[in-house]
Amino acid sequence: MKKPELLMPAGNLEKLEYAVRYGADAVYLGVVDFSLRAMRKGSLITMENLKEAVDLAHSLGAKAYVTLNIFAFNNDIKLLEENIDVFKDANPDAFIVSDFGIFNVLKERIPQIPIHVSTQTNTLNYEAVKFWKNLGASRVILARELSIEDIAEIRREVPDIELENFVHGAQCMSFSGRCMLSDYFTDGERGANHGNCSQPCRWSYELVAKDRENTSCEIVETARGSHIMSTKDLCLVEYLPELIKAGTDSLKIEGRTKSLYYVSAVAKTYRQAIDEAFENPEADLTKYYTELLKVGNRGYTTGFALGKHPSDGYSHDISSGLAGADFLFEFLKEEKMNFAGVDGDFYKIRIKNKTLLNDEIEIITPDEELTVKVLEIRDENGDELALGNTNDEIYMKFSQSPKNYKYALARTIGIKERA
């Protein structure tokens, strides 16, 4: 039995680096036009810097998988063929594919790079895994509708192929992501299977009587609306020993559109949890569940992992994630500042949410988690401030300093016990 890979999303170059520094063994990334997550801001991963992104992951000791998992039309195949040298030159560790046509082009044009079969193919049984193996795939990303028992049976029947499973993050209400709601509600402008989902499953809905025009009633009476299709987020951190025993090779976190803080905090938590579960299958992993309550979530569910999807697996009262702790600021990578006539080191930071003098906060780094007090706040001229506002770049001094401050992030104290 080997320790499974922790596979994190890399929505842009910065998130890629933080994901790896906070514990990821591998990252998956995509470019607009070929990926099911079309990032629109930050240091985007594009055709022009795809090789840079892959090289960055490799320089940090991690693997990089490139997602080409759209359902392709003829023009998509032509675009792939036009850009095949870009993908070849990037030299990722694998391509993640769901379309037979894209699979075929890659096998013919870049046969040296392994292919991972996307969860979009809805692979649910060992015969389907054998099919993909015989076609030349090196890994199958299993459907999220499988139980841990199903996964273990597939591993027994097909021992000589890598298996990957989602363990954390947002879920589609459709079958492993094959959804047309977005296409329908936007007249084809926001195609879910072309990376531009408008997430109508998170919208609030009303029930309208067919024979009573302009009469409607809420399906669920709440202050936030009626979210009849919005699933809770998947969280299997407490079931890592069972997944390891089942024989999974890679544990995947959803979230290429999530924040830098989300990616870092989740990577850190799962890194620690996987390491502990691998060393001690009887370990109590509740503390890691509590840590994950501090990042944005719609409530957590085990999905299909324990068998039938639980009846409370839908989040009927909210559509967007709520976090048990607020992301306050990130440490910038410039050197520490020492102001004339003032004792102590000051760290340059960028505020994400208002932070006050004397606040007690948590600082997380790839190696530490500290509870500290904000002792002083100063601007670039050394003048004292009472607070830092969103997007301010200022200097702070703390009651305890992190060792690896260049990748440190800060948040409110947040949840201390399991909800």
pLDDT confidence of 89, banded at 50, 70, 90? Answer: very high
What pLDDT, on the 0 to 100 scale, is given for residue 170? 82
- Residue 157: CB partners within 8 Å, gap ≥ 6? 126, 129, 130
pLDDT digits (tens, 9 = 90+) for 237-271: 999 999 999 999 999 999 888 899 999 999 999 99
Residue 267 pLDDT: 98
**From the DSSP assignment, how many helices (H) and strands (E) are in the chain?**
11, 20
Q: What is the DSSP string of 190-244?
A: S-GGGT----GGGS--EEE-TTSTT-EEESS--TT---SS-BPEEE-GGGHHHHH
The pLDDT-based confidence of 95 (bands split at 50, 70, 90) is very high
The separation between the first and the last C-alpha atoms of the chain, rounded to the nearest angstrom, is 33
What pLDDT band is residue 394 in, cutting at 50, 70 and 90?
Answer: very high
Q: What is the reported pLDDT for 409?
A: 97
The answer to pTM > 0.75 is: yes
Residue with tokens 């200022």: 394
Mean pLDDT score, 104-114 = 98
Whether the predicted pLDDT of 174 surpasses 90: no
- Does 341 have pLDDT greater than 90? no
Which domains does the chain carry? 5-178+230-301 (3.20.20.70), 327-412 (2.40.30.10)
DSSP 346: B
Torsion of CA 106, 110, 116, 117, to 10 degrees: 10
Residue 195 CA to residue 182 CA, distance in Å, equals 11
Residue 25 above 60 pLDDT?
Answer: yes
pLDDT at 392 over 90: yes
Q: Which pLDDT does position 36 carry in this prediction? A: 57
By percentage, how much of the chain surpasses pLDDT 70?
83
pLDDT, tens digit, for every residue of 314-338? 665 555 567 889 999 999 977 788 8
8-state DSSP, 90: H
Side chain identity at residue 135, one-letter code: L
Q: What is the torsion angle, in degrees rounded to the nearest 10, for the CA atoms of residue 94, residue 37, residue 204 and residue 315?
A: 30
- Percent of the chain topping pLDDT 90: 67
pLDDT at residue 227 above 60? no
Please give the torsion angle defined by the CA atoms of residues 221, 224, 230 and 235, in that order, rounded to the nearest 10 degrees. -110
Residue 17 sits at φ, ψ, to 5 deg, of: -65, -45
Reply yes or no on whether the pLDDT at 418 is more than 80.
no
Per-residue confidence (pLDDT) for residue 189, from 0 to 100: 74
Dist CA 360 CA 374 (whole Å): 6
Average pLDDT, the chain: 88
